[in-house]
Amino acid sequence: MPNIQVEHYMIHYQVQGAGPDVLMVHGWASSHRMWERPVRRLALAGFRAWALDLPGHGKSGSPASDRWYTVPNLTFSVSAFAERVGIQRAAVVGHSMGGAISLELASQCPQLVRALVLVAPCVSGRIGFSLHVLFDSPLGHRLLELSQRHNTLARVGGLSMFGSPWLMGRLGAAMRRDAEDLTRTAAEAAIGGLRAVLNFDFTDRLAMVRAPTLVVVGARDMTLPPSEGALAAAGIPGARLIKLQGIGHQPVDECPEEFERLLLEHLKLPELA
């Protein structure tokens, strides 16, 4: 798959299809691979779907300092990528930390964002299990570094991202993918990205978002509280909230058919024609 230079690092990405652009932004310690099935579905439905690896994730290059990793800097990398590949206007789909980036993008580049789909988004910096107490500490830094070299630790980390250990048998392939993505995430990106999430609070700017917005959350999400998505839907004018019962942090994997139905339904709204 192709790469493109943005600033002083390379961005790796996937693109399929022809038609209106859809730009998909993954979350913390993930990669473009989480979107492989939706990208295929969108291409078949007449869209041009893009999924990139954020800096420090997947096969993209990484800035050297974990202090570089802030939501504004990550948002700039996404907007610069869009400019470099010729995306002028797109529906933007963001998961988790990618939801924070998508909100920032809608605020900073409203001319670029024709529609928003926020999946289990980070909105106010609140996360489950007080994970920030662990991961934003010397011990947590060491665990993140070790997880990159030891797949077993990465699998344990992946469980917290799904928020439902009982999913292991049902979603083994997705769990293995997330474990692999965690091991491929640069230590700077893992540490800095988590800090970026914890320091992000978009609450007071939600009313500025004008793009038609769909918010999808899992009722069983223990990684980012479903209340985060509810906060976004309540604050963004005209936003629609879908709360999926029995689903955790990964609706894209846990209920793919339902997620893709909701996604296409939103992207085909008359006002987006």
Domain ranges of the chain: 3-272
Per-residue pLDDT at 223: 87
Summary mean pLDDT of the chain: 87
Name the more confident of 145 and 162.
145
Per-residue pLDDT at 158: 46
Per-residue pLDDT at 129: 54
Q: Which two tokens stand for residue 83?
A: 């400019």
pLDDT beyond 70 at 222 = yes
- Domain 3-272, CATH 3.90.960.10 — does that match? no
For residue 179, what pLDDT band results from cuts at 50, 70 and 90? confident
pLDDT beyond 60 at 43 = yes
Please name the residue that has the structure tokens 């996404």: 78
Question: In degrees rounded to 5, what are phi and psi of residue 189?
Answer: -70, -40
For residue 153, what pLDDT band results from cuts at 50, 70 and 90? very low
**Which of 109-113, 142-146, 177-181 has the largest mean confidence?**
109-113
For residue 154, what pLDDT band results from cuts at 50, 70 and 90? very low
User: By percentage, how much of the chain surpasses pLDDT 90?
Assistant: 70
pLDDT beyond 60 at 130 = no
**Which of 120-129, 163-172, 200-209 has the largest mean confidence?**
200-209
**Which of 58-67, 179-188, 227-236 has the largest mean confidence?**
227-236
pLDDT beyond 90 at 219 = yes
Amino acid occupying residue 164: S
pLDDT beyond 70 at 134 = no
pLDDT beyond 60 at 132 = no
Per-residue pLDDT at 120: 97
Average pLDDT over residues 239-248: 96
For residue 165, is it left (φ>0), alpha (ψ between -120 and 50) or beta?
alpha
Find out whether 220 and 192 touch, Cβ atoms under 8 Å.
no
Hey, CA dihedral for 224, 225, 226, 229, is it positive or negative?
negative
Please give the model's pTM, rounded to 2 decimal places. Answer: 0.89
Per-residue pLDDT at 137: 55
Per-residue pLDDT at 163: 45
Name the more confident of 198 and 136.
198
